[in-house]
Amino acid sequence: MARVHGADPLKKIALVGFMGAGKTTAAQAVGFPVVDSDELVEQAAGKPIPEIFRDDGETAFRAHEEEAIVLALGGGAVTSAKVREALADTLTVWLDVDVDTCWERVRGSDRPLAQNEAEFRRLYEERRALYADVADVVAHDVHDVVLAAAGVHVERGALAKLGSLVPGDGPVALVSDATVAGIHGMDAQLALGSRLAETHELPSGEEAKTLLTIDRLWQELRLDRRGTIVALGGGCTTDAAGYAAAAYLRGIAWVPVATSLVAQVDAAIGGKTGIDLPQGKNLVGAFHWPATTVIDPALLETLPDAQRRDGMSEVVKTGLLAGEPLWELPDDELVRRCAAFKAAVCLRDPLDQGERKMLNLGHTFAHALEAAAGYEGVTHGRAVALGLLAALRLSGRDIGQVEEILRPTPVKVDRERAWEALLRDKKGALRLVLLGDDGPQWDVDVPAADVRRELDRLIA
């Protein structure tokens, strides 16, 4: 686990694992161009793999395989020392799936090494040591692979391992707000050990996301370009400190350590950093992918209920987009699955030019309600919950689940002010995210009268 994902989300990863582990499916979920070593071998040999084995033997197959530069490696590629050497410079993810599942998936296929169950099981055991040897990260399913590719580390107890999870060996500046610093700051400092060079405090909440705060932080920072900013906190801390890292010395590495539910399932993932202007939220920022993202679900145990409720709106949004009731899962799994969903979308569209827009489901309405309330008295979570109701109604969907889990109640704001804020936010074109029969759709033109009607229903 010495190497972790770098600041570039499009870095190549190598996926290793036994036959039937699901490597191709996982690679497709990450959205990187998939280069399958088996296909390269078949192209080089000019015939299908069963025929290579039959005509030329396994040694010839492995010789072809060594030539291949691969993303998804064939199950046996790591038996070659040359391939193992090549993997030394790549993030290597081992998709470790139990032998029974692998056998169920490949039995009856024409794969030459899957013809005899006893031999298959023997090979499986033999290969495990080799996979363990080359792996930087061990994954057990497609969601783990996505998280590894995005450099997101989700583990109960991860905070105590922070020293080894922050890549590199340069100095670290720890940034947090007073509340989080008071509860988890000491554990973070202990875990960072001798790498901790400086600590900084930001104001709590949106006040962290102001130019004044960032200017003060920039002036206090003493890190050189080998340094890393570690942002320990909720979404306001990670947005602000991430933006500080994006511009400081023209960009240094940063590691969000997400402590709120909003940050663990949303804000700390995907590389969007930013601050607010008096004219509106998140108007200045940068895409700056973290060197690694650390998520320790145990930290949620100290989160106040109100903050947890805010986070649940994003969880429900994620579940609706994923088409699965992720909100029903126990905390650790809920966080892992939501984080993986967001990570996959952001890996496929890191610069928000296409499908990443789906993450705004319900948010057009939410922003309008928050703006109409002057950003006071209506929490973001409540506004998102109401926004989800509107988005679902416009999609012709049942709103029962949102009502039952989030129980949103209409807000008291001025209707005209909310409508004007919505039009300003959308710059005149009413293109929304809706949930279609085949999943989320974005940039859907919705008639103004329908949007206005649904907005009005959210206002008391």
Ligand X SMILES: NC(=O)c1ccc[n+]([C@@H]2O[C@H](COP(=O)([O-])OP(=O)(O)OC[C@H]3O[C@@H](n4cnc5c(N)ncnc54)[C@H](O)[C@@H]3O)[C@@H](O)[C@H]2O)c1
Footprint of ligand X on this chain (CB under 6 A)? 177, 179-180, 183, 204-206, 209, 233-237, 239, 259-260, 262-263, 266-267, 270, 272, 281-282, 299, 302-303, 307, 310
Q: In the complex with ligand X, which residue's Cβ is closer, 183 or 446?
A: 183
Amino acid, single-letter form, for residue 136: D
Query: Smallest distance from the beta carbon of 200 to ligand X, in angstroms?
Result: 15
Residues 6+ apart with CB under 8 A from 181: 199, 201, 232
Query: Smallest distance from the beta carbon of 236 to ligand X, in angstroms?
Result: 3
Query: Smallest distance from the beta carbon of 235 to ligand X, in angstroms?
Result: 2
CB 358 within 8 A of CB 334: no
Q: In the complex with ligand X, which residue's Cβ is closer, 236 or 406?
A: 236
Q: In the complex with ligand X, which residue's Cβ is closer, 79 or 282?
A: 282
Q: In the complex with ligand X, which residue's Cβ is closer, 7 or 135?
A: 7
Query: Smallest distance from the beta carbon of 177 to ligand X, in angstroms?
Result: 5
Query: Smallest distance from the beta carbon of 129 to ligand X, in angstroms?
Result: 39
Q: In the complex with ligand X, which residue's Cβ is closer, 45 or 183?
A: 183
Residues 6+ apart with CB under 8 A from 142: 22, 25, 26, 29
Q: In the complex with ligand X, which residue's Cβ is closer, 88 or 306?
A: 306
Q: In the complex with ligand X, which residue's Cβ is closer, 144 or 239?
A: 239
Which of 56, 57, 80 lies closest to 68 in space, CA to CA? Answer: 80
SS3 letters across 182-249: HHHHHHHHHHHHHHEEEEEEECCHHHHHCHHHHHHHHHHCCCCCCCEEEEEECHHHHHHHHHHHHHHH
Query: Smallest distance from the beta carbon of 214 to ligand X, in angstroms?
Result: 14
Query: Smallest distance from the beta carbon of 324 to ligand X, in angstroms?
Result: 20
Query: Smallest distance from the beta carbon of 186 to ligand X, in angstroms?
Result: 14
Alpha-carbon torsion (58, 64, 67, 69), positive or negative? negative
Residues 6+ apart with CB under 8 A from 288: 7, 242, 243, 245, 246, 251, 254, 271, 273
Query: Smallest distance from the beta carbon of 218 to ligand X, in angstroms?
Result: 19
339-342 long-range contacts (CB < 8 A, ≥24 apart) are 339/147, 339/152, 339/154, 339/264, 339/265, 339/269, 339/295, 340/143, 340/144, 340/146, 340/147, 340/152, 342/265, 342/266, 342/269, 342/270, 342/318
Which of 365, 264, 368, 280 lies closest to 318 in space, CA to CA? Answer: 264
Q: In the complex with ligand X, which residue's Cβ is closer, 338 or 459?
A: 338
Q: In the complex with ligand X, which residue's Cβ is closer, 87 or 240?
A: 240
Q: In the complex with ligand X, which residue's Cβ is closer, 103 or 442?
A: 442
Residue 460 burial (10 A CB sphere; 0-12, 13-18, 19+): exposed
Q: Give, in order, the Cα–Cα distances in Å from 166 to each of 26, 173, 270, 391, 422.
A: 25, 11, 17, 39, 40
- What's the rounded Cα separation, in Å, for the pair 420 and 335? 35
CB 231 within 8 A of CB 176: yes
Query: Smallest distance from the beta carbon of 100 to ligand X, in angstroms?
Result: 39
